[in-house]
Amino acid sequence: MMSYFAGNYDVVVIGAGHAGIEAGLASARLGCKTAVFTINMDSVGNCPCNPSIGGTAKGHLVREIDALGGEMGRTADESFLQSRMLNKGKGPAVHSLRVQIDRRKYSDIMKHKLELQKNLDLRQAEIIDLGKNEDDTWFVETRMNAIFRAKAVIIATGTFLGGKIFIGEISYDGGPDGMFPASFLGKSLKDLGLKLRRFKTGTPARVKKSSIDFSKLEAQEGDKTIIPFSYDTDNPGENKMLCYISWTNDETKRVIMENIHRSPLYSGKIEGVGPRYCPSIEDKMVRFADKPRHQLFIEPCGLNTEEMYIQGMSSSLPEEVQLKFYHTIQGLENALITRPAYAIEYDCVDPVQMNATLEFIEYPGLYGAGQFNGSSGYEEAAAQGLICGVNAALKILGKEQLVLDRATSYIGTLIDDLVTKGANEPYRMMTSRSEYRLVLRQDNADERLTPIGRRIGLISDERWNKFKLKKEKKKNELLRLKKTVIPPSNELNSILVSRGTSTVSTGIRLIDLLKRPEISYNDLKDVDQTREEIGKEILEQVEIEIKYEGYIKKQLSQIEHMRKLENKKLPNSIDYKNIAGLRLEARERLDAVKPINIGQASRIYGVSPADISVLLIWLSQNKEVKDEK
């Protein structure tokens, strides 16, 4: 069949999952004519695994996406079923919002937002080929042989690229949720010269709600006070549904271990590398053999469906084995499985082939985002998609592209880890990955990133004015706390004694009272006569900054040191093989990653402090090369 020319775009996005959505919206909102291609229009923004947004560290990413002007947080707020702030018993650095969402509603809302977006065309088509034109633009070809030209292309294929499903001895080509895979694009990417690898992930079964005995389960309620993801959401609403908890037992383990040889993960049929931090239930039984039981969460998939999701029990065992081990679980003895658990293997790229803008170093104008880059999770994908969409548009508009460093955001940490260290397994964001997590809290995401979103052009006037008002209120409150002196009184000392801290005999500033670990804002409400209602979120942020002032100053000092290294630029033209003193491994790794500065070079696996010293000496001796653009 003859191909035909179908049109021109500034930016073409391949895939309409969480990465593709943010990429397409950002590009279009910055004024670029954009097309988002999806294999199935009904799968836009699909959540084929867990029906939730956020979680530990992932909630930080959603807040950051929103602070920059992205869409995930707003849509999560519009479709949530239950909201919970995780890790409330720990320090503020690890507090993370997580919401159960109505997965179909979330998908519908996202699809409609794409359809309504100016400068954006949402189109159903499988992209089978991609290549470079003679004028350095790109082309993509659909399975219907339509050819589109574009100045930039963003690949956001998720787990569809070369997707293969595994359920016991059964395997077949397929995408998530019973959809078609992207069967042809992978060959085109290999022919282009991209280095691909094979990863694997999995999802648990869904069971019919009426077949569950909830009287045997532990109910898990949402928070009474709902904190939204988006700074645009004023009235998030209320929790609508419960989640539930149950546990595996000895019988569960017996069934799984007696059939472990039938798992393609252990029989050798699955070649892809799976996520270490999200193992299947059979993997848990093998790796944590000493544990008497494993927790699982039974979560609703939506208001208008009877399907419940069994979080924590992904599997690739045969369907009949799944029936047996699910029926050993308290409350699931008679559970009807509506969709069996499965593993999916897929192609992704080695992300060290990209720079910090997520543009391929050797292929200008080509970007990658999400699971295609070796990450896992909706939130990681959306964050990368947003950065890709922004950078593709900025490049086309002739503006400097956006690079977020590790001290700016979790998004910066995520991207730096991927492009500097690569991903030998599906990468998952965790708070422990950040050296500066006390500074990168979810409560201050707007302070860190909204000015950047405004500068780029993704923050509206209304949103910007709201942000400035919040900052002014916070500034005034901090000033009030420093100036206000509370006189000693029986009432104040009674409060202090009840909280286990020392009494006062002279006047004391409010800020000094709040520095005491035992004292909170609420404790002082009866003696604080000048306090005004300025919002719970502002009060919380002020209190955190006061109580953790010393630790925050220490991290800011570390950030300043890091930024000095980041400011020592390394030109792309350096031939590391000819720099005397570098070890062989360091030369190879530096040449592969092509770091943009000394800071990034110091984080590359295989590059030692001694190698960094050699690079610093080389830079000082080659100032004319260092000053190259």
pLDDT in tens, 294-323: 999 999 999 999 999 999 999 999 999 999
**Residues facing 243 on adjacent strands:** 220
Which of 187-191, 536-540, 596-600, 615-619 ranks highest by mean pLDDT? 187-191
Q: What is the total residue count of the chain? A: 629
pLDDT of residue 625: 55
Interval 266-280 mean pLDDT: 80
Per-residue 3-state assignment (H helix, E strand, C coil) for 275-309: CCCCCCHHHHHHHCCCCCCCEEEEEECCCCCCEEE
| Domain-located, residue 560 | no
Within this chain, do residues 21 and 126 fall inside the same structural domain, yes or no? yes
Within this chain, do residues 515 and 374 fall inside the same structural domain, yes or no? no
Binned at pLDDT 50, 70 and 90, residue 504 comes out as: very high
In this structure, are residues 511 and 524 in contact, taking their beta carbons and an 8 Å threshold? no
Within this chain, do residues 245 and 333 fall inside the same structural domain, yes or no? yes
The boundaries of the domain holding residue 140 are 4-200+346-455
Sheet holding 52-54, edge to edge: 52-54, 96-101, 80-86
| Domain-located, residue 559 | no
Number of domains in the chain: 4
Within this chain, do residues 25 and 149 fall inside the same structural domain, yes or no? yes
The CA distance from 431 to 434, in Å, is: 6
pLDDT of residue 627: 47
Q: What is the DSSP letter of 182?
A: B
Within this chain, do residues 250 and 213 fall inside the same structural domain, yes or no? yes
Last residue of one domain, picked from the residues 344, 365, 392: 344
| Cα atoms in the 13 Å half-sphere on the side-chain side of 579 | 24
Interval 451-466 mean pLDDT: 97
Encoded tokens for 396? 């086309």
Interval 319-334 mean pLDDT: 97
Within this chain, do residues 120 and 14 fall inside the same structural domain, yes or no? yes
Within this chain, do residues 431 and 491 fall inside the same structural domain, yes or no? no
The CATH number of the domain holding residue 508 is 1.10.10.1800
The CATH number of the domain holding residue 606 is 1.10.150.570
Share of residues in the chain with pLDDT > 70 (%):
99
Within this chain, do residues 68 and 176 fall inside the same structural domain, yes or no? yes
pLDDT at 376 over 60: yes
Exposed/middle/buried for residue 327 (C-beta within 10 Å: 0-12, 13-18, 19+) = middle
| Cα atoms in the 13 Å half-sphere on the side-chain side of 530 | 13
pLDDT in tens, 113-154: 999 999 999 999 999 999 999 999 999 999 999 999 999 999
pLDDT in tens, 382-429: 999 999 999 999 999 999 999 999 999 999 999 999 999 999 899 999
Within this chain, do residues 331 and 193 fall inside the same structural domain, yes or no? no
The CA distance from 509 to 527, in Å, is: 12
Within this chain, do residues 188 and 210 fall inside the same structural domain, yes or no? no
pTM confidence score: 0.94
